[in-house]
Amino acid sequence: MERKIKLITLNAHITCKICSGYFIDATTVTECLHTFCKSCLVKHLEEKKTCPTCKNVIHQSHPLQYISFDRTMQDIVYKLVPNLQGNEMRREREFYKARNMPCPKDLPQNHDVDDNDKANEAHAESDYHRQDEQVNVCLECITNNFEHLKRRFIRCSSQATITHLKKFVAKKVLNGTEKYREIDILCNDELLGKDHTLKFVYVTRWRFRDPPLRLQYRPKVDI
């Protein structure tokens, strides 16, 4: 079912309370999950230690360690707001060009390599996403005729997707990651889309609940 909605009805969720503009480099306070532009939030935290929205103290001495880039939110904003990404990239390149500096977003980055060899090399050398924001997950089986995981509490990168979790379950209970399509993953009885990141699931389905994020798996049910 496709439904058209006006961008203005979403504005409150995708604009920064500090500058009233659409999020640029959306950055979220990890404690309360309020989001701002990175530059707005960093500037605010030079003077204060509190979240601009809820006024909770983020951290007495190192608030910058408790904020993190919110790729999912930024992707949503760029998808929803026409031309924002292009305009912002142009503005940023001009900023660095005027100062005779390379634009950081134009420098090669590991996750952009699609050449297989390079990707493998980068993977081997990388930290396996341990430096990413982490999510605590409890992954439980909801049917009796399916094998249960020996360890249901796992900790993984917030950038991991539902497909990654399906592959994990397939490897553990079906003895092969290639069988991942035979698995369903649910949260609050709702089937989760394969491309959702755990960050997205957490923010949209578990925002006001205590960790861990509780997910369930079962053999795929054809609807």
Residues that bind Zn ion (CB under 5 A): 16, 18-19, 32, 34, 37, 40, 51, 53-54
Q: Are 84 and 22 in contact (CB under 8 A)?
A: yes
d(CA 175, CA 116) in angstroms, rounded, equals 25
Provide, rounded to whole angstroms, the least separation between the CB of residue 35 and Zn ion: 9
Residue closer to Zn ion by CB (options 19, 138) is 19
Provide, rounded to whole angstroms, the least separation between the CB of residue 172 and Zn ion: 37
Residue closer to Zn ion by CB (options 25, 184) is 25
Provide, rounded to whole angstroms, the least separation between the CB of residue 94 and Zn ion: 19
Residue closer to Zn ion by CB (options 40, 162) is 40
Provide, rounded to whole angstroms, the least separation between the CB of residue 19 and Zn ion: 3
Provide, rounded to whole angstroms, the least separation between the CB of residue 37 and Zn ion: 3
Residue closer to Zn ion by CB (options 18, 42) is 18
- Starting from the edge strand earliest in sequence, which strands make up the sheet with 134-141, in order? 153-157, 134-141, 213-219, 183-187, 190-191
d(CA 149, CA 138) in angstroms, rounded, equals 10
Residue closer to Zn ion by CB (options 53, 85) is 53
What residues contact 32, with CB distance under 8 A and at least 6 apart?
A: 51, 53, 54, 56
